[in-house]
Amino acid sequence: MEIFRVQGGGHLVGEVRVGGAKNSILKLMAIALLAPGRTVLHNAPRIADVAIMSEVLRRLGCQVEVKPDSEEDCSTDSVCIDVPEDVGTEADYDLVRRLRASINVLGPLLARRGHVKVAHPGGDAIGSRGLDYHIAGLRRMGAEITSEHGFVIARAERLHGASIVLEFPSVGATENILAAAVLAKGCTVIDNAAREPEIGNIVAMLNGMGARVSGAGSSTLEVEGVEELTPVTHRTVPDRIVAGTWAYAAAIAQGDVLIRGADASHLRVALDKLAHAGARMTDLGADPIHGGFRVQMTQRPRAVDVVTLPFPGFATDMLPMAIALASVSEGPSLMTENVFDARFMFANEMARLGAEIRTDGHHAVVRGKEWLSGAPVRATDIRAGAGLVIAALRAEGFTEVSDIHHVDRGYPDFATQLQKLGAQVERVQVAEPELGV
Ligand code: EPU
């Protein structure tokens, strides 16, 4: 098995480039299913999840080719997807359980083919993660949906427009309902829709394909259904969570890091928190090549409180980074998690690094220490893994982070990028420990 071995204590200095967002590319790949023909998606991150989503699409009969982007510095890929007229309608559990975003084929396939069978992904390490909002929205558009033997099965001869109010601005439910509504008959209004930049990116792609969607970035999306869509070439939005991870890493390691290709306007609350913690922040604009932002931290961070909320609030995916920062800050920080019920599982691993964290329901109080203490820890999900690695930058001695396949799902070349910034981080192969009898 592979682990990250981190020797804490150094500063992070230099420049790092952020590619497209995991939570954008996977959804754009599913959106491609709405139009027969060739879709090309640029700025795709080199992460394990793109390979899994490619396999999901191949099993639906698509041809998928992933090759280096010709532009920029070749650290990102282009994903070319050829979608057949008679695209398949079934996504099995063996892939869906490895990649929850596979559920995003539900809306496009229902709209295109009139029937679809997708395995229920179940919960995961960060929470229970239901599908009820997806299902309720599609039902309002006329779909008949049943749940049988672990599959969600949906049918509708032709979906019709509907007025849908989401109970919670769920990212996945907004995406599935939106993807179904673009080919439905008539107008659909989605109220309390998610406002994440990745949704705006989907809307831009859909409109490029001939869809008629307005309201991106607001809580109300209006969709005028059309008869058919045509494939496009489209660019993935930069990964705001990866960018935020670099920003928090720079603050924890008291460094000076320029994060190129990121869009600071997608991270306003998270970056404001860093400024309150004492970092100097410089916004270089949103140009995908030359833009980005710089984080300089010259002293121990001051404690800041964090409340996670849907966009534009503090992203739940950044909570582990906030806890890592709080663990080495001066003073106590109050963390409140409002999106996933099991995010604080991460606190148990942080405790192994000596972090003082007391959780109570969806709150945690973190009492910062000047130094953490290196120890073997386990990544329980993508963001927890990244949080442990950046916390280890400020831990005395060595930290060994195992189960790093989680981190590979979302962070391209994480260890190499950290090394380039001067961190003592290695990716090493170790033998699985043998169990005694
Ligand atoms: N929820 C329901 N019922 C539903 C849908 C959602 O109860 O039908 C609940 C969830 O259980 C959760 C909350 O609503 O408590 C929010 O879930 P949401 O649907 O917004 O999340 P998601 O679409 O499943 C995406 C990202 C997550 C990110 C969340 C929130 C992808 C592939 N995943 O998940 O990213 O945390 O939005 O921003 O886009 C990650 O990248 O590490 C990750 C977990």
Residue 175 Cα: closest atom of ligand 1? 23
Over residues 181-207, the mean pLDDT reads: 98
Compute the mean pLDDT over every residue in the chain, rounded to the nearest whole number: 95
Residue 125 pLDDT exceeds 90:
no
pLDDT value, residue 359: 95
pLDDT value, residue 380: 94
Residue 341 Cα: closest atom of ligand 1? 15
pLDDT value, residue 119: 92
With a 6 Å cutoff on the Cβ, whether 245 touches ligand 1 is no
pLDDT tens-digit map of 198-213: 999 999 999 999 999 9
Residue 71 pLDDT exceeds 70:
no
Q: What angle do CA 290, 295, 300 make, to 5 degrees?
A: 170
Share of the chain above pLDDT 70, in %: 98
Q: What share of the chain is helix, strand, coil (3-state, %, to 5)?
A: 35, 30, 40
pLDDT bracket for residue 436 (50, 70, 90): low
pLDDT bracket for residue 395 (50, 70, 90): very high
Token pair 């604080």 is found at: 344
Over residues 81-101, the mean pLDDT reads: 93
pLDDT bracket for residue 437 (50, 70, 90): low
Q: What separation in Å is there between the alpha carbon of 71 and the centre of ligand 1?
A: 32
pLDDT bracket for residue 73 (50, 70, 90): low
308 Rama sector, left if φ>0, alpha if ψ -120 to 50, beta otherwise: beta
**Within the chain, what is the greatest distance between any pair of CA atoms?**
65
pLDDT value, residue 121: 83
pLDDT tens-digit map of 209-250: 999 999 999 999 999 999 999 999 999 999 999 999 999 999
DSSP code string of 129-175: ---HHHHHHHHHTT-EEEEETTEEEEE-SS-B--EEE-SS--HHHHH
pLDDT tens-digit map of 254-306: 999 999 999 999 999 999 999 999 999 999 999 988 899 999 999 999 999 99
Q: In the numeric block, which tokens belong to residue 73?
A: 């510095």
Q: What separation in Å is there between the alpha carbon of 242 and the centre of ligand 1?
A: 17
pLDDT value, residue 202: 98
pLDDT value, residue 389: 98
pTM: 0.97
Residue 132 Cα: closest atom of ligand 1? 8
Beta strand 292-296 with 280-283 is: antiparallel
For atom 21 of ligand 1, which residue has the closest CA?
171
**Rounded Cα gap, residues 189 and 220, in angstroms:** 7
Top-confidence residue, 169 or 437: 169
Residue 328 pLDDT exceeds 60:
yes
With a 6 Å cutoff on the Cβ, whether 129 touches ligand 1 is yes
- DSSP letter, residue 191: E
With a 6 Å cutoff on the Cβ, whether 101 touches ligand 1 is yes
Over residues 7-23, the mean pLDDT reads: 96
Q: What separation in Å is there between the alpha carbon of 132 and the centre of ligand 1?
A: 12
pLDDT bracket for residue 182 (50, 70, 90): very high
Over residues 91-116, the mean pLDDT reads: 94
Q: Name, in order, each residue with C-beta under 8 angstroms of 224's C-beta and a sequence gap of 6 or more.
A: 186, 187, 212, 213
Q: What angle do CA 244, 330, 246 make, to 5 degrees?
A: 15
Token pair 């979608």 is found at: 83
Q: What angle do CA 81, 119, 384 make, to 5 degrees?
A: 80
pLDDT value, residue 89: 96
Residue 193 pLDDT exceeds 70:
yes
SS3 46: coil
